[in-house]
Amino acid sequence: FCIPTEYTMHIERKECAYCLTINTTICAGYCMTRDVNGKLFLPKYALSQDVCTYRDFMYMTAEIPGCPRHVTPYFSYPVAISCKCG
């Protein structure tokens, strides 16, 4: 199944004093794939290699603590709301 799945990522910038842990959702899972032995003789539309990808998502922004004034402390990341095979 291709569904939103919980994921933990670690964000850091070398100029900042801290590493930030963010819990989010990503799209993960299996999609139907067709790959036949005679693929050299078939048109490309007869083959299918779908991957699990985002259908609906939104961006969230986190602030990395301990950054000097000249470094932008913000990091934006996608949050999966729904997924699709495509």
Segment 7-27 shows an average pLDDT of 93
Per the structure, the count of domains in the chain is 1
Residue-number span of the structural domain to which 38 is assigned: 2-85
Give me the pLDDT at residue 86, please. Answer: 87
Write the pLDDT tens digit of every residue in 24-50: 999 999 988 766 666 666 666 666 678
pTM of the shown model:
0.72
Tokens representing residue 23 in the block: 């819990």
Residue 73: CATH number of its domain:
2.10.90.10
Q: Residue 41 contacts by C-beta under 8 Å, 6 or more apart in sequence? A: none
pLDDT interval class at 75 (50, 70, 90): very high
Q: Which of left, alpha, beta for 49 (phi over 0: left; psi -120 to 50: alpha)?
A: beta
Residue 37 DSSP label: T
Give me the pLDDT at residue 42, please. Answer: 67
pLDDT interval class at 6 (50, 70, 90): very high
